[in-house]
Structure 1
Amino acid sequence: MKKLNRGGHKHSRKDSSRVAGPGNYLIVTEGIETEVNYFNRIKARIELAYKNEINVDKVILKVHGTGRSTKVLVKEAIKKRSLSTYSEVWVIFDKDDNIDFDEAIALAKKEDLNVAWSNECFELWLLLHFQDLKSAIPRDDYYSKLSDHFKKGNINKGIYDKNIKEIFDITFPFIDKAIQRSHNLICDCTLDRNSSPTKMNPCTTVQDLVEELIKYIK
């Protein structure tokens, strides 16, 4: 016997296939601008999508930009997790010049934290929305390449900078391509046996977190 919905009617196929409401996520990020802006826009979209079904005052996504890196960031996330209850906790950080990059990822996994890391930087994830990238490039080149794409698309006066509030909205139309390109990079590094994140350049796992969240808004 089919279950009835709140209106006393049989559930349609659409009702039964609906994704369950989002959990309570904690995201602790090294960056205090780009990453915070990016995930706060996802938060806003999730709350809008579920505004008639959840209390929008409830914390669905809590994003903390710390300005701290690698192992220090992981320890900060562990501390924040102890202060409340979360369905998932994520840490986001870049390789940059951090010598404890691999150690931080290992510590996070040991403590049952999810990691969205980027080698070289978060801008790799953004750049993959617009193009493939198979070889390592200097950090500044990410900014110039993104600015080139912004010029072509007449985005933000043709200039990429780290504090664009709508960076998620700008890149969202190309998100499926970015996800596929990111997974391809992971596969390429695995085939090359570069299993150490420090050696996996360019590479990112930000797509794992993004895929987890956008299912609530797509």
Structure 2
Amino acid sequence: MAGRIQRGRDMKRQKAVRPPYDRVLIVCEGEKTEPNYFGEIRVAQRLSTAHVRVCHSALGTEPQQIVEFAEAEFRKTRAYERVYVVFDRDEHRTYANALAMAAARDKTIRNDEGKMVPFEATVSVPCFEAWLLMHFAECQGALHRRDAYDRLRAHIAGYDKGYSGAYAATMAQFGLASTRAARLRERFSRLPGDDVYTDVDLLVSHLLAQIA
């Protein structure tokens, strides 16, 4: 009898143990480019899909819809330590509202372990390609989406929306890009979103720090 009780306790302890890295939900505006990029990082870091889930918003591409979808997905299981919503400034009407919505949810909802969960907006102005471009060149002031694409293609031949391999093409310059992104955050802010800006390096740094 005592042996069965001890085995039961051992099984409970084993069930409670999970890998020491965060379970992360990343919800992206884009259907391919951003999910491909973060998915490539997940594979490179050997992080399981059970602990880093990357998806796009099924509700639509407006920033507000991305926040709403991310919250709904989180609440299905609550099985995450962090939630990231990834979207561009571009010409979105709900950009500012989405930032406020994400901030209102940050560390106000609990996961399946009863812990308050960071709910963070990861934005790029004007677009995700600005972050990729920072791996190769300085970006200053206002930058139009078309210019970001044109300049990026000078470094990544054939780049277009839905491109696969962006992480492999940029990973060697990640440190330089992060430095450039940090300098821009010192000069500019997310709002009103007129000048080039990105937080993507912070999300990538968190993923790279995870234990495979």
In the alignment, what sits opposite 2:70? 77
In the alignment, what sits opposite 1:3? none
Instruction: Check conservation: 2:25, 2:52, Cα contact below 8 A.
Output: yes
Give the alignment's TM-score, normalised by structure 2: 0.79
Cα drift, residue 110 of structure 1: 0.6
Q: 1:196 and 1:91 mapped to 2: Cα distance?
A: 14
In the alignment, what sits opposite 1:130? 136
Cα drift, residue 200 of structure 1: 4.7
Q: For residues 91 and 34 of structure 1, do their structure 2 counterparts lie closer, same or farther at Cα, with a shift above 3 Å needed? A: same
> Which string of whole-angstrom CA distances, capped at 9 and with x for unpartnered residues, describes residues 85-109 of structure 1?
1010100000111122111111101
In the alignment, what sits opposite 2:122? 116
Cα drift, residue 80 of structure 1: 0.4
In the alignment, what sits opposite 1:149? 155
**Residue identity matched to 1:107:** M
Establish whether residue 44 from structure 1 lines up as the match of residue 35 from structure 2.
Answer: no
Establish whether residue 59 from structure 1 lines up as the match of residue 53 from structure 2.
Answer: no
Instruction: Check conservation: 1:101, 1:198, Cα contact below 8 A.
Output: no
Question: Please, which runs of 5 or more residues in structure 1 have no aligned partner?
Answer: 1-19, 49-55, 151-157, 190-194
Q: 1:35 and 1:199 mapped to 2: Cα distance?
A: 20
Q: 1:196 and 1:128 mapped to 2: Cα distance?
A: 17
Instruction: Check conservation: 2:134, 2:180, Cα contact below 8 A.
Output: yes
CA-based RMSD of the aligned residues comes to: 1.9
Q: For residues 173 and 29 of structure 1, do their structure 2 counterparts lie closer, same or farther at Cα, with a shift above 3 Å needed? A: same
Q: 1:207 and 1:137 mapped to 2: Cα distance?
A: 18
Instruction: Check conservation: 1:185, 1:202, Cα contact below 8 A.
Output: yes
Q: 1:203 and 1:170 mapped to 2: Cα distance?
A: 21
Give the alignment's TM-score, normalised by structure 1: 0.77
Instruction: Check conservation: 1:43, 1:60, Cα contact below 8 A.
Output: no
Q: 1:94 and 1:196 mapped to 2: Cα distance?
A: 10
Q: Single out whichever of 202-211 and 64-73 deviates more from structure 2.
A: 64-73
Instruction: Check conservation: 1:93, 1:116, Cα contact below 8 A.
Output: yes
Q: 1:160 and 1:29 mapped to 2: Cα distance?
A: 19
Q: 2:73 and 2:210 mapped to 1: Cα distance?
A: 25
Question: Which aligned runs of 4 or more in structure 1 are off by greater than 6 angstroms?
Answer: none
Q: 2:32 and 2:71 mapped to 1: Cα distance?
A: 22
Q: 1:183 and 1:200 mapped to 2: Cα distance?
A: 17
Q: 1:135-214 maps to which residues of 2 (within 5 A)?
A: 135-150=141-156, 158-189=157-188, 195=189, 197-214=191-208
Instruction: Check conservation: 1:108, 1:115, Cα contact below 8 A.
Output: yes
Q: 2:30 and 2:182 mapped to 1: Cα distance?
A: 23
**What count of residue pairs does the alignment treat as equivalent?**
179
Establish whether residue 215 from structure 1 lines up as the match of residue 209 from structure 2.
Answer: yes
Cα drift, residue 119 of structure 1: 1.1
In the alignment, what sits opposite 1:98? 92
In the alignment, what sits opposite 2:31? 32
Question: Please, which runs of 5 or more residues in structure 2 have no aligned partner?
Answer: 1-18, 107-118
> Which string of whole-angstrom CA distances, capped at 9 and with x for unpartnered residues, describes residues 143-180 of structure 1?
11011123xxxxxxx22112222111111000001111
